[in-house]
Structure 1
Amino acid sequence: RRPRELSAEERAYLEARRKANARIGLLFHVIPYAATCAFLLLVAGYRAFLAVAIFWGIGVACHWFIVQAPELRRRWVEDEVNKKLTSSVSQQRRVLQTEHNRSVEELTASIAHEIRNPITAAKSLVQQMGEDPRAGENIEYAKVALEELDRVEKSVSHLLRFAREEDVRMSEMTLVDVIEAALDTFQDRIQALGVEIHKELDSQGAMRGDPEKMRRVIINLFGNALDALEQSGTPQPRVEIQAGENLAGTEVWVRIRDNGPGMEPGKVEKIFKPFYTSKASGTGLGLAITKKLVDAHGGTIEAASEPGHGAEFVLTFPKAGPDSASPAEAGA
């Protein structure tokens, strides 16, 4: 039978009691020792006093050391552990601070690059318009300048969304419903591009999550797949969507795969970083926001791709619980 764990007050009381017993035991040796030595010095003389004082003193010292040895050992161990922990924590803090500073520098540089370039382009176009206000090209210049400023506005909007703390409202939901709702938003585009959609939904995917946030995740990933197929002009474009749960019944998963141009291995490692994009008009925050939403649900997202073999994204989430039995099964 496992013993009951002591409370903090009980542990403090036992520690104080142990120290008190050690001190009382030491006094029981010191007081008789001092009295005997004084008596021998007065009655038996200096030699008898010295002999008893030395040998008895050694005994008292040994007893004190034996009694105090566990306490001394504990203090030495604690001091050594504290030194190593302090050194380790300080080193980890320095590493984390360095990584944080590097991340901030990279993010700052990305933001500056993403906003400065379109502003510079728009400024140049406006300057050209000012040099010859009556030029026929000014209409085209103004159109391009507005597009560049729209790009800045879009980047800032996505950046604010990425920086904002997501308000995730958990409820019982199923991945199948989320996937169907996300695909409904792309029906016109799917038909226009002639993309074949292949679905394998082996499970309802019952889980606890925010349906709207999960719909955004699927929309981002499916939209990226359509963008890749459209930009590459892939013949017989195809997107596969699969959903199911693991054998233990503890997790649900979604796999989205396209047969587009794929990505280089070096690019796959960077796609979840803010402002990294391979699109001409992308902000580079879509997948960063997607990963943030997945993390908020306690899930994981993994990407795999090879040039010429499309891209694949796999999402895994904790399952809400075992599927409830149907009425027919319950009555069986």
Structure 2
Amino acid sequence: MTLFIAFEIAIWVTSVCGVLVGAWLVWRGRKQGDLKALAGFAVMMALWCFGHLALFHNLQTLGMVLLLANPLMPTFFLHFAILFVNEGAAWRPWLSIIARNMGWIYATSVLIVLLSIWGGAGDTVALMGGRPFFVFNELGAVNLGYTIFIGVLGHGVLLLGWRQHTGNKKRSILAMFGVAAWGLLLATSFVFPSFGINVFPYPMLLLPSYLLLLVYGVVRYQILDVNRFANRALLALAMMLVILCVIAVFGTLSGRFGLQALTTVPVWQLWLYSLVVLLVAATVYPWLRRVTERLVFPGAVLNESVLESWNLELNKAESWSDLLNQGGQLLAHHLRQPVGIYMQDSDASEPLYLSVEKTANGWYVQPSQTEDLSPGMRLTLEVFSSIFATKCAALERSLALAEAERKRLDEQHLVELGSLSAAMAHELRNPLNIISMASYNSPPETKRHIQEQLTRADRLVSDMLVYSGKLTLQYQSVAIKSLVTNVLSVLNMESVLITVQIPPELEVQGDIHRLQQVFINLIDNALAYVRNQEGGSVCIEAHMEQDACVCRIHNNGPALDASIKQDDLFRPFVSKRPGGSGLGLAIVRRIMDAHHGIISHREDLGWPVTFECRLPKSPQQASGETSHV
């Protein structure tokens, strides 16, 4: 009697699981035909199990109808297999034809079912203490054979898919084959009575596992929620088995320790009580965990939304300064007090800060000045430090990729323009020299005009060679003020007011000749726009900001065309002043890039036009090394 109850419970569980799984698949697979077909398979399996339950409770007509509808179950599975396999790179036209004509296969299956019901293809035998159990008679052989044929055909389609697909799709098909072997083992016991083998179908006690494992094998690589649920389900099952073992051992040994009352309690009751306790504990655990965290770590509000917000904001950083500033703002907002994040060896200006350090084992972030903080704030700092270290490593990789891409583009740029500039130098300078010699006996005014135009053409050729050629940097200490003074001595300043605000001791590591060219181009460009206007003024200032030397060349000339974007401004021939080559700013950017610096145009410093150069005080190359760009 107990065995029959266990069997009926297993069938009930399978039926309920089939309905729930079918509904869930229809909901999750609203736009996926394969999941809808799998939902049909789950529902038909539930109905098949209901047929067994109907026979158990003397509803013979209903039970026979549901059990003889057996062929519809593999038909749904065949439909699912075709749709699951026939997509992506493994698409096969003939499978699409079968999918479009699945209605005929469904119709054939329905016809087999109707003929089986009309001809009485099933009977019952007394099994499990006289309870009726379904068996196929001679006419039912057609029903059973057709069911087996469609099932084999469905798994044949999966075999084809396993050979054609790769990756997660192939893993899913492999998992389905493993589950199919398990299902075959369970289903074999169902047909034993049909062949006169009156053995209790013990494997059918595990029937609920077949449907769940099949669905899990299909969707585990598509729907992440299923894996989370499976993880919790396996954990619950493991806990149930552990409790079962502990209760069995405890019930056996309790009498030896004077606990006679427990020896009279049935083991299944002790197990049931323990499961109830486990269920209650699992229900209240999340709430109790939040309460204890608030008591032990007051003020620490760390949940999935906070961590996700931190990750999203930190992912927006495109430079180290952005990352440090963004991290400090996030942490300060969360802790409601000023927080700074600094690289190692930087001077911290906040009482509470995080020190970021690159070690041989990766990035390391250490909170400092935390002695007076609450446990909750310390926990927040530790969690944030771990996340921030991960973002440092990600940004480092991103910048390395960007640098590699920049070098690739530079190399491509050199290949394209190098040959062009060499050809121009050869083809243009020879005729320019001939024109210069031919103008020797021209009238003075004509000769002067020709020489001016020849000088302009020669400068255009020279700028093209500088822009397209390879830059070789010889690093040394460069005094910025002295450099600017030398540049101003060779430029035509006429009536322009020049102001220099540079500390005499300000120095950087760089190539003095290339940096001189930067200042010549920028200052000459500024003079060209203010030289012929009343009250023309140019201001040159420089100072240190952290580890960078910031040089700014201001002028009160007309503002640049607002239609020119920041990135386009430093491209060749985009912004061309009268008499210029159109390459001045492009050359400046090339030299600044070679020094690992930044050149930008600004309008927010009180002057109509400002060009700002940021040069690292200590570039990556050591002093005296040669850099080729």
2:618 match: secondary structure: coil
5+ residue gaps in structure 2?
Answer: 1-167, 225-412, 414-419, 620-629
Q: Structure 1 residue 69 and structure 2 residue 219: aligned?
A: yes
1:193 match: secondary structure: coil
Counterpart position of 1:157: 462
Counterpart position of 1:225: 526
Contact persistence 2:481–2:504 (CA under 8 A) = no
Deviation at 1:203, TM superposition (A): 8.0
Identity of aligned residues (%): 20
Deviation at 1:265, TM superposition (A): 3.9
CA deviation profile, 1:116-167 (whole Å, cap 9, x unmatched) = xxx9xx9xxx9xx9xxxxxx97886676556545544432332232223433
Q: Structure 1 residue 244 and structure 2 residue 549: aligned?
A: no
Q: Which whole-Å CA distance do the structure 2 matches of 1:59 and 1:278 have between them? A: 76
Tell me which amino acid in the other structure corresponds to 1:62.
L
Deviation at 1:229, TM superposition (A): 4.0
Deviation at 1:268, TM superposition (A): 6.7
2:573 match: secondary structure: coil
Q: Structure 1 residue 181 and structure 2 residue 483: aligned?
A: yes
Counterpart position of 1:303: 601
Q: Which whole-Å CA distance do the structure 1 matches of 2:490 and 2:517 have between them? A: 18
Deviation at 1:187, TM superposition (A): 1.9
How do 1:109-188 residues align onto structure 2 when only pairs under 5 Å count?
A: 144=449, 147-168=452-473, 171=475, 173-174=477-478, 177-187=479-489
Contact persistence 2:559–2:609 (CA under 8 A) = yes
Q: Which whole-Å CA distance do the structure 1 matches of 2:194 and 2:476 have between them? A: 89
Q: Structure 1 residue 60 and structure 2 residue 60: aligned?
A: no
5+ residue gaps in structure 1?
Answer: 1-14, 75-103, 105-110, 130-135, 322-332
Distance change (3 Å), C-alpha of 1:140 and 1:27: same
Counterpart position of 2:558: 262
TM-score by length of structure 1 reads 0.52
Contact persistence 1:262–1:305 (CA under 8 A) = no
Deviation at 1:224, TM superposition (A): 2.3
Deviation at 1:315, TM superposition (A): 1.7
How do 1:11-90 residues align onto structure 2 when only pairs under 5 Å count?
A: 26=179, 29-30=182-183, 32-33=185-186, 35-37=188-190, 39-44=192-197, 59-73=209-223
Q: Which whole-Å CA distance do the structure 1 matches of 2:499 and 2:459 have between them? A: 32
Contact persistence 1:206–1:320 (CA under 8 A) = no
1:224 match: secondary structure: helix
Contact persistence 1:274–1:285 (CA under 8 A) = yes
Q: Which whole-Å CA distance do the structure 2 matches of 1:216 and 1:178 have between them? A: 13
Contact persistence 1:256–1:312 (CA under 8 A) = yes
Deviation at 1:253, TM superposition (A): 0.6
Distance change (3 Å), C-alpha of 1:195 and 1:54: same
Which structure's relative contact order is higher, taking Cα pairs within 8 Å and 6+ residues apart? 1
Contact persistence 1:178–1:211 (CA under 8 A) = no
Contact persistence 2:550–2:613 (CA under 8 A) = yes
Tell me which amino acid in the other structure corresponds to 1:63.
L
Contact persistence 2:189–2:204 (CA under 8 A) = no
- How many residues align? The count is 239
Q: Which whole-Å CA distance do the structure 1 matches of 2:599 and 2:217 have between them? A: 58
TM-score by length of structure 2 reads 0.31
Q: Which whole-Å CA distance do the structure 2 matches of 1:203 and 1:73 have between them? A: 65
Contact persistence 1:172–1:206 (CA under 8 A) = no
Deviation at 1:40, TM superposition (A): 3.7
Tell me which amino acid in the other structure corresponds to 1:253.
V
Q: Which whole-Å CA distance do the structure 2 matches of 1:305 and 1:58 have between them? A: 72
1:257 match: secondary structure: strand
CA deviation profile, 1:183-223 (whole Å, cap 9, x unmatched) = 21432556x73655433225855545433322211121122
Tell me which amino acid in the other structure corresponds to 1:212.
H
CA RMSD of aligned residues (A): 5.0
CA deviation profile, 1:36-93 (whole Å, cap 9, x unmatched) = 3564442248xx99x999997675233222345323436xxxxxxxxxxxxxxxxxxx
1:161 match: secondary structure: helix
Tell me which amino acid in the other structure corresponds to 1:216.
Q
Counterpart position of 2:587: 289
Q: Which whole-Å CA distance do the structure 2 matches of 1:276 and 1:32 have between them? A: 76
Contact persistence 2:487–2:519 (CA under 8 A) = no
Distance change (3 Å), C-alpha of 1:34 and 1:313: same
Distance change (3 Å), C-alpha of 1:242 and 1:209: same
CA deviation profile, 1:274-312 (whole Å, cap 9, x unmatched) = 224554421121112112222333333233569xx7632
Distance change (3 Å), C-alpha of 1:33 and 1:271: closer
Distance change (3 Å), C-alpha of 1:58 and 1:252: same
| Structure possessing the higher radius of gyration over alpha carbons | 2
Contact persistence 1:202–1:243 (CA under 8 A) = yes
Q: Which whole-Å CA distance do the structure 1 matches of 2:505 and 2:529 have between them? A: 28
Distance change (3 Å), C-alpha of 1:222 and 1:72: closer
2:520 match: secondary structure: helix
Distance change (3 Å), C-alpha of 1:212 and 1:148: closer
Contact persistence 2:518–2:588 (CA under 8 A) = yes
